[in-house]
Amino acid sequence: MYDCIIVGAGPSGGTSAYHLAKRGHSILVLEKESLPRYKPCGGGVSPAIAQWFDFDFSSAISVKVDSLRFTWKLGDPVEAKMSINEPVWMVRRDVFDHFLIQQAQKQGAQLQDHTTVTGIEFQGDSWQVNTTNGPFTSRYLIAADGAKGSMAKWLGFKDRKRILAGALEAEVAADVENKSLAHFEFGLIKNGYIWNFPKDDGYSIGVGTFFGNTPQDFKKILAEYAQSFNLDIKTSKQYGHPICLWDGNQKLHTQNAVLAGEAACVVDPMTAEGIRPSIFSGLLAAIAIHDALAGDINALEKYSDAVNEQWGADMAWAQKLAGAFYRFPHIAYKVGVKRPSGAQIMGKILSGELRYRDIADRALKRLIPGFGG
């Protein structure tokens, strides 16, 4: 009998495992893949996550980015160095996720990878988790199995509030000319953007739409964009995947269980940043489970409230901004991205030094004349 079983070894699951194990709880992490495993992801991580841990992430960071370059239909470029305290981290998810789990293991958490969960049952006052490697039992559950996971459905969360977005990504091996520069393209794709993020031995290049449902040929668009860097992504494997964007406050707890990470639909609806909110929700989930194990009967309800208040409140502003930005992208590029302060604001948002509520009101007034007045 474990104190808590965590399903999923991504950033939220690894974070919860670390903080619960560090507090002396018996923790089991179940992961369907064998670690380390590839995960399609741009890999941008806000350095703000460091405040939630007491160890050094250096060995899990591929490169650090301190400059941004924006284009509109491959032209009209804007490039700027960000005036931020710490550059944005670029990571490879196989390395980063495994690193987090290893920190949890050092604290006593157990990992059972290459183990698929096949079903769950609440029996008396504990959960039985059935897997391809037999059943495991625990007092509490954290569902951290991502956008495509089954745990939310099995726990009874049939109608989660979410915007289901799509992305296509590829890893391209190459000699990287400038490892401190991240690229964003806004004109080739509707309702989203294309990115090219440096790594120590290549690029993570991808395209995503985060607003609306306009059919688009992602493969063709991504190939055209890659060619502008003299990259041929046809030689690389491409991964399509869904993204669960935040779409409003919701209940994230049920009987002795909570949702965390992308299973909780916490991804930023403006930028599709997922790692920081997943880690934050994993931290809050760990606090809630710790308090519940200590006898607080309202701890899991407080978890839902904390995610909604501490993350969701700012995501409400992000959603308003995304609605305006992606509806009028060319105007947004001219009056937002191309402003002298545009790259600085974007950098501070990505690094976690600014919140959307700090800038959204002014930005929306520029995009939509008469907004708020």
Per-residue pLDDT, averaged over 155-169, amounts to 90
pLDDT bracket for residue 367 (50, 70, 90) = low
Mean local confidence (pLDDT), 71-82: 95
Please determine, for residue 369, whether its predicted confidence score (pLDDT) is greater than 60: no
Residue 213 pLDDT > 80:
no
Round the average pLDDT of the chain to a whole number and report it.
Answer: 93
Distance between start and end Cα atoms, the chain:
58
Instruction: Give all strands (DSSP E) within 113-265, no chain letters.
Output: 117-123, 126-131, 134-143, 162-173, 181-185, 192-199, 202-209, 238-246, 253-254, 257-259
What backbone torsions phi and psi does residue 290 show, to the nearest 5 degrees? -60, -45
3-state secondary structure 225-252: HHHCCCCCHHHCCEEEEEEEEECCCCCC
Q: Find the range with the poorest average confidence among 144-148, 273-277, 360-364.
A: 360-364
- 258 Ramachandran zone, left/alpha/beta (phi>0; psi -120 to 50): beta
238: its two tokens: 């491409």
Q: In the predicted model, is pLDDT for residue 371 greater than 70?
A: no
Mean pLDDT of 121-145: 97
Percent of the chain beyond pLDDT 70? 98
- Decide if pLDDT at 316 tops 90: yes
CA nearest to 12, candidates 147, 135, 120, 122: 147
Query: What's the whole-number mean pLDDT along residues 155-167?
Result: 89
CB 19 within 8 Å of CB 291: no
Boundaries of domain holding 359: 2-366
Tell me what the mean pLDDT of segment 328-335 comes to: 91
Q: How confident is the model at residue 373 (pLDDT cuts 50, 70, 90)?
A: very low
The answer as to whether 232 is a domain residue is yes
Please report the pLDDT score of residue 370 as a whole number.
Answer: 44
Residue 321's domain is classified under what CATH number?
3.50.50.60
pTM across the whole model? 0.95
Q: Which is more confidently placed, 368 or 291?
A: 291
User: And the tokens for 360?
Assistant: 């959204």
Q: Is the pLDDT reported for residue 372 higher than 50?
A: no
Is residue 373 in a domain? no
CA distance 359 to 339: 14
Share of the chain above pLDDT 90, in %: 84
Residue 78 CB partners (closer than 8 Å, separation 6+): 69, 70, 71, 337, 338, 342, 343
Instruction: Tell me whether residue 372 is in a domain.
Output: no
- Per-residue confidence band for 180, with pLDDT thresholds at 50, 70 and 90: very high
20 φ/ψ angles, rounded to the nearest 5 degrees: -75, -40
From CA 356, how far away is CA 349, in angstroms rounded? 7
* Mean pLDDT score, 89-110: 98
Query: Given a cut of 90, is residue 94 above it in pLDDT?
Result: yes
pLDDT digit string, tens, across residues 18-52: 999 999 999 999 999 999 999 989 999 999 999 99
pLDDT over 80 at 144, yes or no? yes
**Has residue 129 been placed in a domain?**
yes
Residue 368: its pLDDT value, please? 63
Give pLDDT tens digits for 354-365.
Answer: 999 888 777 777
Number of separate domains in the chain: 1
Distance CA(3)–CA(215), nearest Å, equals 46
